[in-house]
Amino acid sequence: MMHTVESILIGILVLSVVVFVHELGHYLAARWRHIKVDVFSIGFGPALTSWYDRAGTRWQLSALPLGGYVKLHGFGGDDSSDEAVDDDEAFHRKPVLSRAIVTVMGPVFNFIFTIIIFIGLFGFYGHSEVRPDVGEIEPGSVAQKAGLHVGDHLTSLNGRTLLGVADLQAQISAHPGENVTLGLSRQGQDLALPLTLGEKGQTGHKTGYLGVRFSIVIGKALPFYKAVPMAFEKTWDLCVQVLQSVWQIISGQRSASQLSGTIGIIHASGQVAHYGWVSLLLFVAAISTSLGLFNLFPIPMLDGGHLVFYAAEAIMGRPVSERVQGYALQAGLSLVLVLFLFTGYNDLRNLGFFHKIESISHWVFSQH
């Protein structure tokens, strides 16, 4: 029980930190462009505690610590709720460039945060890397029976190029007991190895199993002038991997059942934390990058959707009509809500929640 509570607390902390960094980008950009920020909230719902800063912003910790928001004065239209604030400090009165800067700085701060994490890791620990190379094979495992060798470099699964160890693990986990073809490179020769993945876990929540441990390359601490460019490179690689994963889901190369939401992130954070601080920081970097990219997607309701409106305004010389924006925002809200529900369903299913509910229901009805 204590392990579960600890994992949940760690997960909430990770999510809160990443969201705080994102909203801090909006807040600081707004202050820079002389836009009043009415509220800076960590979490949603009723405020548990709050205080005001010198600029009149109410900072608050809310009851539901799953995300957060910044409320800009005059965002989305005229806001006369605070008569003490001159209209010149309202978001809607600012030039389109200022509004675009405030909007984009949320995702930008997520990328900056990722870069800072990597600089710290490379500067103190070096560039350690887990490679999709077989470092050890468990006796009697699927890998041993299929003929995998230590040193094999795994390159694809069912013909689809792997994006790294995390991608391979996700793919294996998603296909318990299924026949797959594993692509690999052995001593310079490309091979295709057919095998049947093993299964582990409880009934109703089984995951695929291969039975190998991957090679870990331990790096040495890097000087600052080397850590910085490598941090930028690693952040770029993360962005590419996230976008490739999204495209593979859209194109049907990857199952949408692998999409994870808030519950999955919290659960994974707690699990990763038990591998140490380095692993947890790498996970935080990946979540921060993903949040930044997701918010740049051109979907109304997200930062990227607002940037599309501002780009159209800059081209046309006038704002997009409120009617068009209203319809677009409703569509965007519907899409985000559907995605939230879908990823929540995936998370609960992957945690075996529905199987537990089914078992409880059977037990209850068997008592009557």
Q: What is the pLDDT of residues 296-323, one digit of tens each?
A: 999 888 899 999 999 999 999 888 888 8
Query: Are 244 and 364 within one domain?
Result: yes
Mean pLDDT of 326-353: 73
**The residue type at 84:** A
| Domain-embedded: residue 38 | no
In this predicted structure, what is the pLDDT of residue 171? 76
Question: Is 109 contained in some domain?
Answer: yes
If one compares 268 and 110, the residue with the highest pLDDT of the two is 110
d(CA 307, CA 63): 30
My answer on whether 358 and 304 are in the same domain is: yes
Name the DSSP letter for residue 56: S
Query: Per mean pLDDT, which range of 77-91, 156-170, 206-220, 335-349 is the poorest?
Result: 77-91
Mean pLDDT of 110-117: 96
Q: What's the whole-number mean pLDDT along residues 58-77? A: 84
Query: Is 23 an active-site residue?
Result: yes
Q: What is the reported pLDDT for 354? A: 46
Burial class (CB in 10 A: 0-12, 13-18, 19+), 200: exposed
- Residues spanned by the domain of 151: 129-217
- pLDDT (0 to 100) of residue 119: 94
- Domain final residue, candidates 174, 189, 217: 217
Structure tokens at 281: 């920081």
Residue of 323 and 201 predicted with greater confidence: 323
Determine the 3-state secondary structure of 91 from DSSP. Answer: helix
Those residues whose C-beta lies under 8 Å from the C-beta of residue 82, and which sit 6 or more positions away, are: 36, 38, 73
Of 201-215, 218-232, 293-307, 323-337, where does mean pLDDT reach its minimum? 201-215
pLDDT-derived band at 4 (thresholds 50, 70, 90) equals low
Domain count, the chain: 2
Residue 363 binned pLDDT confidence (cut-offs 50, 70, 90): very low
| Residue 250 pLDDT | 79
Rounded to 5°, the CA angle 69-75-79 comes to 120
- Within a domain: residue 28? no
Is the same domain home to 199 and 294?
no
Burial of 116 (0-12, 13-18, 19+ CB in 10 A): middle
In this structure, the answer to whether residues 263 and 365 fall within a common structural domain is yes
- Mean pLDDT lowest among 4-18, 24-38, 112-126: 4-18
Tell me the average pLDDT across 158-168: 75
In a domain, 86, yes or no: no
Specify if 264 maps to a domain: yes
- The pLDDT of residue 104 is 96
pLDDT score at 31:
93
Q: To the nearest whole number, what is the mean pLDDT of the chain?
A: 80
pLDDT at 139 over 80: yes
The pLDDT of residue 350: 62
- Residue 362 confidence (pLDDT): 46
State the catalytic residue, choosing from 6, 23, 89, 358.
23
Mean pLDDT (whole number) for 24-35: 94
Asked, for residue 133, whether it belongs to a domain, the answer is: yes
Q: Any alpha helices (H) in the chain, and if so which ranges?
A: 2-32, 96-124, 142-146, 165-173, 224-250, 262-273, 277-296, 303-316, 322-350, 353-366
Would you say residue 40 lies in a domain? no
Q: What is this structure's pTM?
A: 0.77
- Position 164 scores a pLDDT of 74
Residue 223 is classified by DSSP as P
Higher pLDDT, residue 344 or 91: 91
